[in-house]
Structure 1
């Protein structure tokens, strides 16, 4: 049995650094015979055990963070999950998600795996997540991570961190940032499946055509007319579901493409990402 005296100051110091509870910190210091670093390791290991024990839990709550670099040439969006809405609304949880996004902006990892391997405050992001699983008592983790580059990248966070959008445009200059935000809100609201007609997945096109044909047949239209009517329905799908061809939400008299060109001649979207919590 250890005879090392554990002071309240030591317990508080460990608590301040790790965020663990007072009793957990005291127990860690006792188990480590007063060795502060060993106590931190003890709490980290405890966190790892908590994380392992909660792998079967659902973590569909959380936050989505979207940010761009200072020069606006690159943006990142990530989804950081937890189990309950209560934790998702906690300021410390949101701050941790922002730290991960800031690190991604600074270090430019290309993939989620690369992001998890980056170092934050002396530990890998993966280990920081494990440590905080122990502190929070819920399964947490980064489930999605996307990067977009362009001449001007505009980030947008919608609905209290529940949805994030990145929009890359081919120009920068007067009015472009504001236009980018309008388009980001369009993407948040309308959820386009692709940027333009040519970007739609061929399987999606085939599916839409087959659905259209079945609908037309069910209406009793002549077989000779089916192909032509199906083509019209496909064009309607493009208008409804591809970003540049959608009606602009703020002015339905024009498409998103026309709105952008009127903002600045030749202005268009080159890429976008939309990440919705739990989707």
Structure 2
């Protein structure tokens, strides 16, 4: 099967693996990107697992919370060039829309709502398109509600945004912000093991078994290796079991307990583009 340079570069960008290895993996998987990633992982290549992401090529995203921290949104606007996505006026527009989005529960209602002299948010976006000369579209609209919601946006490039909902009001704002920042940086799959999809666990077991079968070890040792690797996978990819990014001697759960043993994390949403 002939694999195009474009497909190889796409896989290389996702995985960080060399061109020839990417090409071989794509040939082996008949050009399927997801299967090619599994091929590379079975070979032992360390590749980050993609979770919540948007296929938006260029643009920016931002997260916001309302005045009493009871809800939060993540919105994202696509554009045609990376240059515009970094423009201060474009990011200012995104910030304005982000605050306004907190008043609505879904993308449709938000876009049809009026703002200042504009008949709708959609009209406002179209008007801005005429100024910058690029097609713009509200691609992302996510909202969560919880007794307390904290947000974090990776402001270096506005490509990653996070919301985290807590079980009760949090008095220590910086602690809540630290948790949201940790999620942004460490990209957990779930809060705890029970929330990891069975399909993902089964896929990971298949990859690990394939890696271990190549080792010249007894069946009992191989079984222990597989169990150990699965346990490590769960610990590294569940939020409460991850090592806290600001204090790697303790887990996120232990960091929470230091501040409030009765505080729980209800949910989180992390989106990257």
Q: Aligning the two structures, in what range does the TM-score lie when normalised by the shorter sequence?
A: 0.7 to 0.9
The within-5 A match list for 1:234-249 is 234-249=230-245
Give the Cα–Cα distance (whole angstroms) in 2 for the partners of residues 212 and 91 of structure 1.
46
Aligned position for 2:72: 75
Aligned position for 2:10: none
**1:226 Cα deviation after fit:** 4.0
Give the Cα–Cα distance (whole angstroms) in 2 for the partners of residues 94 and 225 of structure 1.
54
User: Over alpha carbons, which structure has the higher Rg?
Assistant: 1
In the alignment, structure 2 segments of 5+ residues that lack a partner are 1-54
- For the pair 1:89 / 2:89, whether they are aligned, the reply is no
Could you tell me whether the CA contact under 8 Å between 1:65 and 1:164 is conserved in 2?
A: yes
**1:108 Cα deviation after fit:** 2.2
- For the pair 1:262 / 2:241, whether they are aligned, the reply is no
The within-5 A match list for 1:17-36 is none
Could you tell me whether the CA contact under 8 Å between 1:79 and 1:275 is conserved in 2?
A: no
The within-5 A match list for 1:49-198 is 60-105=57-102, 107-109=103-105, 111-121=106-116, 122-160=118-156, 161-175=158-172, 177-198=173-194
**1:182 Cα deviation after fit:** 1.0
SS of the aligned residue for 1:274 comes to strand
With normalisation by structure 2, the TM-score equals: 0.73
SS of the aligned residue for 2:151 comes to strand
Give the Cα–Cα distance (whole angstroms) in 1 for the partners of residues 99 and 245 of structure 2.
31
Give the Cα–Cα distance (whole angstroms) in 1 for the partners of residues 56 and 241 of structure 2.
35
SS of the aligned residue for 2:269 comes to strand
Give the Cα–Cα distance (whole angstroms) in 1 for the partners of residues 83 and 168 of structure 2.
41
Could you tell me whether the CA contact under 8 Å between 2:58 and 2:81 is conserved in 1?
A: yes
* CA offsets 1:24-80 (integer angstroms, 9 cap, x no match): xxxxxxxxxxxxxxxxxxxxxxxxxxxxxxxxxx96332221110111010111112
**1:239 Cα deviation after fit:** 1.0
Give the Cα–Cα distance (whole angstroms) in 2 for the partners of residues 117 and 224 of structure 1.
62
SS of the aligned residue for 1:252 comes to strand
Aligned position for 1:272: 268
SS of the aligned residue for 2:96 comes to helix
Q: Cα RMSD between the aligned structures?
A: 2.0
**1:245 Cα deviation after fit:** 0.9
SS of the aligned residue for 2:171 comes to coil
Could you tell me whether the CA contact under 8 Å between 1:62 and 1:83 is conserved in 2?
A: yes
Between Structure 1 and Structure 2, how many residues are aligned?
A: 217
Give the Cα–Cα distance (whole angstroms) in 1 for the partners of residues 56 and 125 of structure 2.
13
Aligned position for 1:250: 246
Give the Cα–Cα distance (whole angstroms) in 2 for the partners of residues 83 and 146 of structure 1.
22
Could you tell me whether the CA contact under 8 Å between 1:59 and 1:140 is conserved in 2?
A: no
With normalisation by structure 1, the TM-score equals: 0.72
Give the Cα–Cα distance (whole angstroms) in 2 for the partners of residues 173 and 87 of structure 1.
37
